[in-house]
């Protein structure tokens, strides 16, 4: 049994999947990750924002048993907020908005980029959720790693660089509101900060600001 299968086999992992059998030679389980290479799509419970657009680069990773990550495929966004190509299973009901990717195959295993930390991928600690938006610099860095170009040194700690147009504000939320925000963010695979930014932007647009 491949050691990477252990996460799916554990009963206490709280994953919303159909688990494979320990005797499988080919995985008989069901999860979105397994379906990615067949139908090239990913679901969301809420409308997908405009940060995901046609032609945007996408990198796929899985978490290793030691908590680090392996980059195993790349593609681009084909379309967003579309219907799924297939009949949804019970554990997918409620995901009405789907992102479709340009057809792709996993990279050859000798091209997989292993032992990546969350900071190597997204520039910060990856606390929760299944996807993150990254900068163009990170895109370039990941592509160079796939091509076998190893940088002299990867960043050891998060670095946040704000443009001249960005301002940091502090907002106090009631604990009940923040708990609901965290649950919503985890459900959508996002950080709470992203949802707050999107909500503010939509509120301003609705008022013509």
Domain boundaries, given as residue ranges, for the chain: 1-30, 40-157, 162-209
Give bridge partners of residue 76 from the DSSP assignment.
57
Which CATH code for domain 162-209? 1.10.1220
95 Rama sector, left if φ>0, alpha if ψ -120 to 50, beta otherwise: beta
**Lowest-pLDDT range, 34-38, 120-124, 134-138?**
34-38
- Is the model's pLDDT at 156 over the cut of 60? no
Higher local confidence (pLDDT), 161 or 142: 142
Interval 58-102: pLDDT, tens? 999 988 888 899 999 999 999 999 998 888 877 777 888 999 999
Contact 29, 18 (CB under 8 A): yes
Given a contact cutoff of 8 angstroms between Cβ atoms, the answer to whether 71 and 112 are in contact is yes
- Round the average pLDDT of the chain to a whole number and report it: 80
Rounded to whole angstroms, how far apart are CA atoms 138 and 121? Answer: 7
């Amino acid at each position: 049994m491949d050691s990477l299968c252990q996460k799916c086999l554990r009963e206490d992992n709280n994953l919303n999947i159909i688990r494979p059998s320990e005797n499988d030679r080919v995985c008989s389980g069901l999860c979105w990750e397994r379906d990615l290479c067949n139908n090239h799509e990913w679901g969301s419970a809420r409308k997908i924002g405009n940060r995901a657009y046609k032609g945007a680069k996408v990198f796929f990773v899985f978490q290793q048993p030691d908590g680090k990550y392996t980059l195993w495929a790349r593609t681009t966004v084909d379309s967003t907020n579309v219907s799924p190509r297939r009949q949804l299973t019970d554990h997918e009901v409620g995901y009405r908005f789907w992102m479709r990717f340009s057809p792709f195959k996993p990279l050859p295993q000798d091209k997989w980029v292993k032992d990546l930390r969350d900071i190597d991928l997204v520039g910060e600690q990856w606390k929760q959720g299944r996807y993150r938006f990254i900068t163009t610099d990170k895109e370039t860095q990941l592509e160079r790693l796939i091509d076998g170009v190893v940088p002299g040194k990867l960043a050891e700690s998060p670095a946040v660089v704000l443009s001249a147009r960005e301002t940091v504000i502090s907002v106090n939320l009631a604990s009940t509101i923040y708990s609901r925000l965290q649950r919503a963010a985890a459900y959508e695979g996002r950080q709470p900060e992203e949802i707050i930014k999107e909500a503010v932007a939509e509120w301003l647009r609705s008022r013509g600001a």
